[in-house]
């Protein structure tokens, strides 16, 4: 296996590259406190060896991991959870109450992913999903508290991207691990103006008012940093929250304008998302060529367009 890429931050926090699709796309966060560890999001089955190698590099044994915390059960975040748990004899998996059953019996989850990605691509990307035993699961409702070797973690229910999504406030560092609630921010788009961010409207549970409210709720906790699964630590939080709110509204507006566009609608939504993001990147000072930007964003644009289409079809019926 190639050299595993990981980034060490302050307060015992590291981001491990999950080696999903490309470098710098999916981060698995490792939190260490006094020789005990928690892992936040698992990546896919193909990420498991990466995690084990980083644990060893940090002098940790598999039995030193107390918790495997999954922000939500989309498979780029949770696909490797069952296999990783097999390697961690003392760990329990912490899940949103709405998501736990999908990892105990992943049948519906696998079917849903095949619908989004296609059966062959789902198999290539995620492999066989290993179920998690019910007796190794902790369900974390809103305001649930957990201690990692005395270090307090607070779980916040954050719907909008998915109804089975929570974020985790680490009270020691005043950082929040946000999964997908606080959007996507790839380091390739950093400029002298700081980080670039945009929301993810992945199918099938995008809910704009709930996502706006979840972002505001996170900001009301006065975090110092956010740690995004896509990808790693961001600061400048007031500006980034404002940018997310604006971009959510822009995506909703463009989708509504195309509600009655007929069968070409998906392609038109993709084109409009691309237009919005390219304009925002130019305003941010990004100097990458369009081809490079599209290489980095192509999958997100496709999934965002799918999610906006599903939302349009259900708006007003939920």
Q: DSSP letters along 18-71, please?
A: --SSSTTS-EEEEEEETTEEEEE----GGGHHHHHHHHHHTT--GGGEEEEE-S
Q: What percent of the chain has pLDDT over 90?
A: 86
139 — pLDDT class (breaks 50, 70, 90) = very high
Where residue 83 falls (left for φ over 0; alpha for ψ -120 to 50; beta otherwise) is: alpha
pLDDT tens-place string over residues 222-279: 999 999 999 999 999 999 999 999 999 999 999 999 999 988 999 999 999 999 999 9
Question: How far apart are alpha carbons 2 and 54 in whole angstroms?
Answer: 13
Residue 84 confidence (pLDDT) above 80: yes
Cis peptide before 211 (omega within 30 of 0): no
Per-residue pLDDT at 115: 72
Question: Mean pLDDT throughout 15-21?
Answer: 94
Contacts of residue 85, Cβ cutoff 8 Å, sequence gap at least 6? 68, 91, 93, 130, 132, 136
pLDDT reported for residue 116: 67
Tokens representing 135 are 């007796």
Residues constituting the chain: 318
pTM of the full structure: 0.93
Q: Which of 6, 3, 76 is nearest to 46 (CA)?
A: 76
Q: What is the pLDDT of residue 3?
A: 55
Closest CA to 181 of 146, 223, 216: 216
Q: How confident is the model at residue 318 (pLDDT cuts 50, 70, 90)?
A: very low
**Is it the case that residue 316 has pLDDT exceeding 90?**
no
Predicted confidence at residue 122, as pLDDT, reads: 67
Relative to beta strand 36-40, strand 65-69 is: parallel
Main-chain dihedrals φ then ψ at residue 170, nearest 5 degrees: -90, 110
pLDDT computed for residue 249 by the predictor: 98
Q: Which tokens go with 49?
A: 């060896």
Report the alpha-carbon distance of residue 303 to residue 47 in Å, rounded: 22
Query: 90-136, pLDDT tens digit by residue?
Result: 999 999 999 999 999 988 777 777 776 677 766 776 777 889 999 99
From CA 297, how far away is CA 308, in angstroms rounded? 16
Give the whole-number percent of the chain exceeding pLDDT 70.
96
1 pLDDT more than 50: no
Q: Which two tokens stand for residue 64?
A: 């030193």
- 13-41: average pLDDT: 96
Rounded to whole angstroms, the Cα distance separating 31 from 149 reads 11
């Amino acid at each position: 296996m190639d050299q595993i890429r990981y980034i060490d931050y302050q307060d015992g926090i590291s981001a491990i590259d999950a080696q999903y699709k490309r470098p710098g796309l999916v981060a698995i966060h490792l939190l260490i406190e006094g020789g005990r560890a928690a892992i936040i999001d698992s990546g896919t089955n193909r990420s498991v060896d990466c995690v084990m190698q980083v644990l060893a590099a940090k002098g940790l044994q598999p039995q030193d991991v107390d918790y495997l915390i999954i922000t939500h059960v989309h498979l780029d975040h949770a696909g490797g959870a069952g296999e990783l748990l097999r390697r961690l004899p003392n760990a329990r998996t912490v899940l949103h109450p709405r998501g736990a059953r999908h990892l105990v019996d992943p049948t519906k989850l696998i079917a849903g992913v095949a619908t989004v990605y296609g059966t062959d691509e789902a198999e290539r990307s995620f492999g066989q999903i290993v179920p998690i035993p019910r007796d190794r699961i902790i369900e974390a409702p809103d305001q649930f508290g957990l201690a990692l070797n005395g270090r307090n973690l607070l779980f916040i229910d954050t719907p909008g991207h998915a109804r089975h999504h929570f974020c985790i406030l680490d009270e020691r560092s005043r950082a929040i691990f946000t999964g997908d609630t606080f959007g996507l921010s790839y380091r390739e788009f950093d400029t002298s103006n700081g980080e670039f961010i945009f929301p993810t409207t992945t199918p099938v549970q995008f809910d704009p008012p709930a996502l706006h409210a979840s972002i505001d709720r996170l900001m009301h906790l006065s975090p110092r940093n956010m740690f995004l699964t896509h990808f790693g630590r961001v600061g400048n939080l007031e500006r980034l929250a404002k940018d997310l709110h604006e971009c959510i509204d822009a995506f909703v507006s463009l989708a509504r304008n195309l509600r009655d566009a007929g069968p070409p609608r998906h392609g038109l939504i993709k084109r409009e998302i691309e237009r919005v993001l390219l304009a925002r990147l130019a305003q941010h000072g990004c100097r990458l060529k369009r081809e490079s930007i599209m290489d980095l964003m192509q999958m997100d644009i496709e999934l965002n367009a799918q999610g906006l289409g599903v939302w349009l079809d259900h708006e007003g019926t939920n």
